[in-house]
Amino acid sequence: MNHEEPARRLGVEPASLSPAPAAPRFAQTRAKRGQQEPPCSACGQPSRTSGVLHDPEHGPRWLDRCQECILATHPTLRVRPAQFLEELREVAADTRLRLCTSTHEGGWDSE
């Protein structure tokens, strides 16, 4: 997986990331995420995944991302999920449509 584009979109500087093995085994990635519990490289929230980005100037570096930053850097999403939900709620209110949303944080939210 290419982690250079998500890092760029999140504004993460490769020099600020920890050195990583060039091609870590799954067990190494799992151990890093599970034992060290690194914060998200972009926002500092607890990370949900770790991967290696390959920077020509700094070499391989760990890129850790929380769920929000993973979703924000998904190739098909143009905005963060929280912003999308906020805009969706506004549209629903303007059109007087009933909207029910669910997130892992707050459960069901009926409007």
Q: Are residues 95 and 65 in the same domain?
A: no
CA–centroid distance for 17 within its chain: 15
pLDDT tens for residues 52-100?
999 999 999 999 999 899 888 877 766 777 788 888 889 999 999 988 8
Q: Are residues 66 and 90 in the same domain?
A: no
Q: Are residues 17 and 63 in the same domain?
A: yes
Q: Are residues 39 and 89 in the same domain?
A: no
Domains contained in the chain, number: 2
Could you give the residue ranges of the DSSP H alpha helices within 1-111? 4-10, 26-31, 67-72, 81-95
Rounded distance between C-alpha atoms, residue 1 and residue 34, angstroms: 20
Residue labelled with tokens 């504004």: 11
59 residue type, one letter: G
Does the pTM surpass 0.95? The reply is no
Q: Are residues 65 and 83 in the same domain?
A: no
Q: Between vectors from CA 17 to CA 13 and to CA 21, what angle results, nearest 5°?
A: 125
Q: How far is the CA of 66 from the CAs of 33, 53, 93, 109, in angstroms?
A: 11, 16, 30, 22
Q: Are residues 57 and 18 in the same domain?
A: yes
**Dihedral angle at the C-alpha atoms of 109, 72, 74, 68, nearest 10 degrees?**
-60
Domain extent, residue 36, equals: 4-71
Q: Are residues 53 and 85 in the same domain?
A: no
Q: Which residue has the higher pLDDT, 109 or 29?
A: 29
